[in-house]
Structure 1
Amino acid sequence: MLILLPPSEGKAASGDGPGLDLSALTLPELAPAREEVMAALADLCSGPEEEALRVLGLSASQSEALKRDLDAATAPTLRAADLYTGVLYDRLGLPGLLDSPAAARVRERVLVFSGLWGVVGPEDRLPPYRLSMGVRLPPLGGLGPYWRRALKGPLEALSEGRLLVDCRSSAYAAAFRPSGSAAGRTVAVRVLRERVVGGRVRRSVVSHMAKATRGDIARALLAEGVAAATPEELAAALADLGYTVELQPGPRPGAARTLDVLSAD
């Protein structure tokens, strides 16, 4: 099983470890692509500040992020588990899991997608940075399509025969779309809120709650040692853990499935 996660917009501001070593990151064969994105980002951030902020989708009050991006190659690093913060990661609690009996499962089963690095593992050492997957980075263009080309081969090999539990947002899902037999082993986790309105049950997606619930689910799968091999086994395991879930049929045989996690008001 592989759990696919987005990064977080919020990140730790500093590290205290050695400088970046691209050869030590998960999927080191991505080093040339990572170097290309780093160079393009440094080029952007060393130019006019207003243009860099516009391209990166940042406000003037976030200009300190430009310096972090410029310093990424030499800044002190910290584990990805400690770098990413925010609702999903607060609920997931990667640092605690890495200090628990679940540590080996966390290292083996968690992949975090990134606009700068493509994908990383929880113990990869990274500098603080800011680069969203939705950015169109000159001269590379959209980072989603860029990383989709670079990640296709390495991730297809890494995911061979494994269930993919997809907890990513749409921007990061664009960087890797499982195809072929991998699509049939992919389950996208969708969180829906149920409430009664005018005597009728209605369902809706709530972003903040979805992040928290995905973090809870990822933590439960890792802490409890769930080893589901099929979408049906995943749904049954989460039901056993107390979640109300519905596994939706795919649009066609062999397509990725959606697992609805229901939360009532």
Structure 2
Amino acid sequence: MVLLPPSETKAVGGAGAPLDLDALSHPELTPTRRKLIEALSTLADDVPASLTALGLSERQVEEVERNAELWDSPTAPALERYTGVLYDALDVRSLSAAERARADARMVVASALFGLVRGTDAIPAYRLSGGSALPGFGTLRSVWRPALEPVLADADSLVVDLRSGVYAALAKVPNAVAVRVLSEDAAGKRKVVSHHNKSHKGKLARALARTPQEAGSLEDVLDVANDAGLQVEREGARGLCVVVRA
């Protein structure tokens, strides 16, 4: 399992039927999903309150309008719904049929609204960030952690965790392989990469989607990454570091 962060930006539209919660993977998350969707769509009736709760400006009112139509708007597969730097680097549309099937099976997006979605899960466009707090719910961390952690604890395969901090806070994953990105200058000094962090994580996710063999250990992930031309090093017992030349 490659655990991805979502993106703030979403592709609009879609060719799928309206949202069917019963058709999504991880059905044990359905009650929490339903409560959050009902709360988010109801909040959309009050545009100023929605903008405040979601941290949006008045120029982003269309995001609130999308939330108002969560039950009725068309859907698209999750790996095509999310956009932005990481998903540009993952670039699922350019994968072969076999590679895309592996991406759909291996990639899981940590969503503030849906908890976890697999690549083929059909979802609408929405706006809700991991750091948001909906009226009457408190933080999303308090909502999702009790529901998500048991699901992730039962994962029967290696988990490569590419989530950003705010989404990692929604649930801990026992024994996951954590990945961070550092830049290295000519003098060998390293620092945390911010702007291009997502791009390099997307490249690692793409490499893990393309390999025919399941990665069963940290060493397997290391081999896949290096074979793909990424400079990746081991950090401790459960960590990997992608090193980028500044």
User: What TM-score results when the alignment is normalised by the length of structure 2?
Assistant: 0.94
Kindly indicate whether the alpha-carbon contact (under 8 Å) linking 2:211 and 2:224 is maintained by their aligned counterparts in 1: no
Kindly indicate whether the alpha-carbon contact (under 8 Å) linking 1:89 and 1:215 is maintained by their aligned counterparts in 2: yes
1:5 is aligned to 2:4: yes
Query: Deviating runs (4+, > 4 A) in structure 1?
Result: none
What is the number of equivalent residue pairs in this alignment? 246
1:153 is aligned to 2:140: no
Distance 1:88 1:165 in 2: 15
Partner of 1:253: none
In the TM superposition, 1:157-236 aligns within 5 A as 157=154, 159-160=155-156, 162-179=157-174, 183=175, 186-196=176-186, 200-236=187-223
Kindly indicate whether the alpha-carbon contact (under 8 Å) linking 2:92 and 2:100 is maintained by their aligned counterparts in 1: no
In the TM superposition, 1:118-133 aligns within 5 A as 118-133=115-130
Give the deviation of 1:164 after TM superposition: 0.8
The 1:95–1:242 alpha-carbon spacing in structure 2 relative to 1, beyond 3 Å, is: closer
SS at match of 2:152: helix
SS at match of 2:243: strand
In the TM superposition, 1:28-107 aligns within 5 A as 28-47=27-46, 49-97=47-95, 100-107=97-104
Distance 1:76 1:243 in 2: 37
Give the deviation of 1:226 after TM superposition: 4.2
Amino acid at match of 1:111: V
SS at match of 1:95: helix
Partner of 1:237: 224
Distance 2:233 2:142 in 1: 31
Partner of 1:254: none
RMSD: 1.5
Give the deviation of 1:91 after TM superposition: 1.0
Structure 2 gap ranges (5+): none
The percentage of aligned residue pairs carrying the same residue is: 41
Amino acid at match of 1:217: L
SS at match of 2:145: helix
Partner of 1:263: 244
User: What TM-score results when the alignment is normalised by the length of structure 1?
Assistant: 0.88
Amino acid at match of 2:97: S
SS at match of 1:38: helix
Partner of 1:137: 134
